[in-house]
């Protein structure tokens, strides 16, 4: 556990935050700016554990292309207010001010230049005046006479406001819990069932000979598509393009993959033919694909050892269809243990989009992955956790204005 964290216990607080992840710690920092007394409770032994491992240890915390289009929710307009209240450029200026180096990797994705610990230390510094309790289980959460009473394995605490920031149920080895959904149901809020998202897909017959090989592709389900890298695995498919499209996948649905999205194989073969190229199709294909993928395509289409001039129109059509309309019907996703996030959670119709407070339970807020807002791969989930935490933390007031 980080040295910055003190443990000073009093049993009455303005605000108790349950969950010390990206959203909970940001909410603490935000509420402290308003001089609230804050207690953060977590059932694990350290804060921000997902942030630490996120982005391969470099935390992809936001994206320059920020809009509600990058989020899935039963209520797609809900996120818009949060995105206008919490600005990417303001946050990047804050990073500059605090000398936290970052860079754009690709597609607008902003990563820490060093390690996630840069942003972790920043958040812990911003929230250092809160009290923290780790390894602490919540045994009950009730509201009596406008005061929340929280019983825990380390005593009973009271507060005027409670923020639930316990995340989703993916990446199970980090000790996740269904606490947000259970609490929502106890307070009679509608909850949308969780399901794994940003998750590798399993195939009945995986292309084992290609396991470990990746290629740039366009992965589509219906009208939704992503251009990015795809990785063949021993069990099926992964890589950013597949993780992104997986959030739109459900059992029985096929995924269409264009293996050469920026070129038309028919056109380039015909160009090569008319330029009287003497290349074999094998060597020609290596201009477009790795040796492994090129051999795989030619094996699957039964086109072997032909000079490019000898290819018939039928064979060119075969190649065209195989390369541009590669279709898989996954049998399953790889489940919560490998899913980067979970879709679903507290129904956003139950919450104010301006404050994240439950409309039916004044003083109770839900933020981050615990609610039905699932971001795309590319920094959108940590960003939503930050935005919702920041907003809820600064909106704790009895003067409701929404």
Ligand X SMILES: Cc1cc2nc3c(=O)[nH]c(=O)nc-3n(C[C@H](O)[C@H](O)[C@H](O)COP(=O)(O)OP(=O)(O)OC[C@H]3O[C@@H](n4cnc5c(N)ncnc54)[C@H](O)[C@@H]3O)c2cc1C
Q: Using the minimum distance from each CB to ligand X, give the nearer residue, 20 or 361.
A: 20
**What is the C-alpha to C-alpha distance for residues 180 and 159, in angstroms, rounded to an integer?**
18
Q: Using the minimum distance from each CB to ligand X, give the nearer residue, 55 or 363.
A: 55
Closest CA to 371 of 396, 393, 341: 341
Shortest Cβ 47–ligand X spacing (Å): 6
Shortest Cβ 26–ligand X spacing (Å): 8
Q: Using the minimum distance from each CB to ligand X, give the nearer residue, 20 or 294.
A: 20
Shortest Cβ 92–ligand X spacing (Å): 15
The separation between CA 28 and the C-alpha centre of its own chain, rounded to angstroms, equals 22
Shortest Cβ 20–ligand X spacing (Å): 5
- How many CA atoms lie less than 13 Å away from 54 in the CB half-sphere? 29
Shortest Cβ 315–ligand X spacing (Å): 43
Determine the length of the chain: 402
Per-residue contact flags (x/-) with ligand X for residues 19 to 58, judged by CB under 6 A: xxxxxx----------------xxxx----xxx-xxx---
Q: Using the minimum distance from each CB to ligand X, give the nearer residue, 28 or 260.
A: 28
What residues numbered 200-239 form the site for ligand X, per CB under 6 A?
none
Per-residue contact flags (x/-) with ligand X for residues 54 to 93, judged by CB under 6 A: xx---xx---------------------------------
* Dihedrals phi, psi of 73, to nearest 5 degrees: -160, 150
Q: Using the minimum distance from each CB to ligand X, give the nearer residue, 316 or 382.
A: 382
Q: Using the minimum distance from each CB to ligand X, give the nearer residue, 171 or 248.
A: 171
**What is the C-alpha to C-alpha distance for residues 16 and 267, in angstroms, rounded to an integer?**
63
Per-residue contact flags (x/-) with ligand X for residues 92 to 131, judged by CB under 6 A: ----------------------------------------
Q: Using the minimum distance from each CB to ligand X, give the nearer residue, 210 or 367.
A: 367
**What is the C-alpha to C-alpha distance for residues 64 and 176, in angstroms, rounded to an integer?**
29
Question: Which residues lie below 8 Å from residue 6, measured CB to CB, with a gap of 6+?
Answer: 128, 131, 132
What residues numbered 332-361 form the site for ligand X, per CB under 6 A?
340-341
* Dihedrals phi, psi of 159, to nearest 5 degrees: -160, 165
- Residue 385 within binding range of ligand X, rule CB under 6 A: yes
What residues numbered 160-199 form the site for ligand X, per CB under 6 A?
165-167, 171, 175-177, 179
Of 73-81, 82-90, 159-167, 298-306, which part binds ligand X (CB under 6 A)?
159-167
- Is residue 281 within 8 A of residue 308, CB to CB? The reply is yes
Question: Which residues lie below 8 Å from residue 206, measured CB to CB, with a gap of 6+?
Answer: 232, 233, 234, 235, 236, 237
> Would strands 155-164 and 364-366 be described as parallel, antiparallel, or unpaired?
parallel
Q: Using the minimum distance from each CB to ligand X, give the nearer residue, 177 or 301.
A: 177
DSSP lists the bridge partners of residue 219 as 226, 257
344: left (phi over 0), alpha (psi -120 to 50) or beta: left
Shortest Cβ 381–ligand X spacing (Å): 3
Q: Which of 82, 138, 285, 346 binds ligand X (CB under 6 A)?
A: 138
Neighbours of 233 (CB within 10 A): 22
Provide the terminal-to-terminal Cα distance of the chain, rounded to the nearest Å: 39
Q: Using the minimum distance from each CB to ligand X, give the nearer residue, 19 or 240.
A: 19
Of 79-87, 100-108, 365-373, 393-401, which part binds ligand X (CB under 6 A)?
365-373
What residues numbered 251-310 form the site for ligand X, per CB under 6 A?
none
Q: Which residues of 129-160 are buried (b: 16+ CB within 10 A; e: fewer)?
A: ebbbbbebebeebeeeeeebbbebeeeebebb
**What is the C-alpha to C-alpha distance for residues 385 and 27, in angstroms, rounded to an integer?**
9
Shortest Cβ 318–ligand X spacing (Å): 40
- Which residues are at the interface with ligand X (CB under 6 A)? 18-24, 41-44, 49-51, 53-55, 59-60, 138, 165-167, 171, 175-177, 179, 340-341, 368-370, 379-383, 385
């Amino acid at each position: 556990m980080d040295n910055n964290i003190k443990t000073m216990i009093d049993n009455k607080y303005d605000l108790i935050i349950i969950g010390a992840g990206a959203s909970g710690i940001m909410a603490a920092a935000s509420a402290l700016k308003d001089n609230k007394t804050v207690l953060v409770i977590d059932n694990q032994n350290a804060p921000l554990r997902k942030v630490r491992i996120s982005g391969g240890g470099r935390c992809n915390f936001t994206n320059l292309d920020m809009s509600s289009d990058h989020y899935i929710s039963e209520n797609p307009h809900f996120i818009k207010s949060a995105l206008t209240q919490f600005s990417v450029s303001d946050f990047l200026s804050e990073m500059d001010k605090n000398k936290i180096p970052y860079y754009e990797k690709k597609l607008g994705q902003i990563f820490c230049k060093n390690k996630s610990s840069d942003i972790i230390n920043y958040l812990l510094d911003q929230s250092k005046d809160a009290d923290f309790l780790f390894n602490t289980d919540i045994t009950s959460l009730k509201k009596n006479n406008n005061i929340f009473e929280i019983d825990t394995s380390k005593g009973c605490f009271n507060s005027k406001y409670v923020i639930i920031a316990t995340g989703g149920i993916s990446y199970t080895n980090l000790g996740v819990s269904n606490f947000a959904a259970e609490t929502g149901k106890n307070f009679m809020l509608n909850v949308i069932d969780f399901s794994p998202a940003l998750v590798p897909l399993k195939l009945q017959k995986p292309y084992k000979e290609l396991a470990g090989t990746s290629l740039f592709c366009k992965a589509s389900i219906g009208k939704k598509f992503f251009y990015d890298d795809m990785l063949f695995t021993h069990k099926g498919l992964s890589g950013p393009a597949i993780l992104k499209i997986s959030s739109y996948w459900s059992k029985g649905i096929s995924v269409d993959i264009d293996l050469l999205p920026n070129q038309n194989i028919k056109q380039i073969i015909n160009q090569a033919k008319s330029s009287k190229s003497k290349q074999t199709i094998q060597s020609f294909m290596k201009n477009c694909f790795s040796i492994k993928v090129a051999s795989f395509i030619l094996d699957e289409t039964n086109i072997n050892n032909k000079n490019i001039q000898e290819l018939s129109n039928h064979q060119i059509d075969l190649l065209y269809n195989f390369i541009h309309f590669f279709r898989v019907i996954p049998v399953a996703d790889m489940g919560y243990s490998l899913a980067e996030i979970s879709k679903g959670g507290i129904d956003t119709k139950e919450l104010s989009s301006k404050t994240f407070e439950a409309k039916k339970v004044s003083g109770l807020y839900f933020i981050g992955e615990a609610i039905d807002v699932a971001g795309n791969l590319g920094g959108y989930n940590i960003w939503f956790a930050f935005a919702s935490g920041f907003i809820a933390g600064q909106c704790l007031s009895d003067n409701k204005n929404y």
